[in-house]
Structure 1
Amino acid sequence: MKIQNDYYGEVEYEQNDLLTIPGGFWGFSDLKYYLPVCISEDDGSVLLLQSTEQPEIAFVVINPAFLCEDYSPVLSAEELSCLGVTEEGELSYYALCVIRDNYLENTVNMKCPLAINPLTREGRQVILENPDFGYRHKISSFPNIITSDNLQNGSLAHADTATEKK
């Protein structure tokens, strides 16, 4: 299959490359299937999740462990069950980013990450109880500030749910 991407042009993918989010993202509950595309060729910590149902809709997400090494979400038993796991460590996490023209104003939602079972490629957006995590953390406030340089040179940490550009 093929999809048109604003950043990379036409991208080929297989059905098993897709992430399924049965409940969708909040505000986009009707969109369930996303193609994860690495923003940097050698890295999977920053992804573009492009809807295959409405290709003009895409979300930039980041592995929150890159920003906060001790990021350790605690999910409810129901959330773990819905994702087909018994503990949080079996999941991959991605936080949604709001991208601004000035990258120092970019924010990330650490409170409501996307939790993904990498074996089933199924995910769910969850709300964490931890009061330390907020909805609008400035990315520039983290020690590992994302700049256009490290996005281009692949110096971000690796995550395992991304689809390489084909």
Structure 2
Amino acid sequence: MNKTNETPDPMVLETETRTVRIPVSDGNIFTFPDGVPAFEDYKQFVLYCNTDMQPFFFMKSIGISPEVSFVCLDPFLVCPDYQVRVGPSDLQALNLQRGEDAFIFSFVTVRDDPSEITANLQGPVILNMKNSQGRQIISEGTRHDVRFRVWDALMQSRETSDSAEDDLTATQCR
């Protein structure tokens, strides 16, 4: 690990179209002490985004096998009434004292057909931004879908937004 007064060495990510350099330092490495379900041996990850891929971003493993990467999404973008209930054992494992210290996101399953892309809203990932600890949890007592259809939600949001703009325009024209 680099000393804090040194410039961190960037992590190099190869993509089909270009090379992306991600500066990796203590400030953007997140540790998952229990790993991620089905990837328990992977403990350290870095988050990064590609502006061409918004609203999606990525959580990439560092260390053992850096080719392991997850596509992620802010669930509040596609489900504005989304609620997460974190159980006491998860709060303790994360040492999470305040909700403001949490960054919540969902893993996404990508399909060839964009309309089939889903996000796991039942099992969000929570990062404690104060201590850089992460954990995927099961949101207790909620009825969120494990395969929430992202495309449908984005289209519905767009239609609602367009309708609101039409209403505003009609009001302004009166």
Instruction: Classify the TM-score, shorter chain.
Output: 0.7 to 0.9
Q: Which residue of 1 aligns with 2:88?
A: 77
Q: Is the 8 A contact 2:106 2:121 kept in 1?
A: yes
Amino acid across the alignment from 1:26: P
TM-score (norm 2): 0.74
Contact persistence 1:112–1:128 (CA under 8 A): yes
Partner of 2:116: 105
3-state SS in 1 of match to 2:41: coil
Q: Secondary structure at the match of 2:124?
A: strand
CA contact (8 A) 1:80 1:88 kept: no
- Choose the corresponding residue for 2:71, options 44, 60, 68: 60
The 3 A distance-change label for structure 1 pair 46 and 26 is same
Q: Report the secondary structure of 1:36's partner residue.
A: strand
For the 8 Å contact 1:19–1:34, the answer to whether it is kept is yes
1:38 aligns with 2:46: no
* Structure 1: distance between partners of 2:14 and 2:113: 20
Whose helix proportion is higher, 1 or 2?
Answer: 2
Contact 1:20 1:33 in 2 (8 A): yes
**Coordinate RMSD, CA, aligned:** 2.5
Q: Which whole-Å CA distance do the structure 1 matches of 2:122 and 2:53 have between them?
A: 27
Where do 5+ consecutive residues of structure 1 fail to align?
A: 147-166
- Structure number having the greater strand percentage: 1
Is the CA contact (8 Å cut-off) linking 1:111 and 1:134 kept in structure 2?
yes
Structure whose CA Rg is larger:
2
Q: Which runs of 4+ in 1 moved over 6 A?
A: none
Partner of 1:5: 13
Paired residue total: 146
- TM-score w.r.t. the length of structure 1 is 0.77
Q: Residue 60 of structure 2 contacts residue 70 of structure 2 at CA under 8 Å; is this kept in 1?
A: yes
Structure 2 contact 59–70 (Cα < 8 Å) conserved = yes
Q: State whether residues 11 and 22 of structure 2, in contact with CA within 8 Å, keep that contact through their aligned partners in structure 1.
A: yes
* 1:103 Cα deviation after fit: 1.0
State the partner residue of 2:57: 47
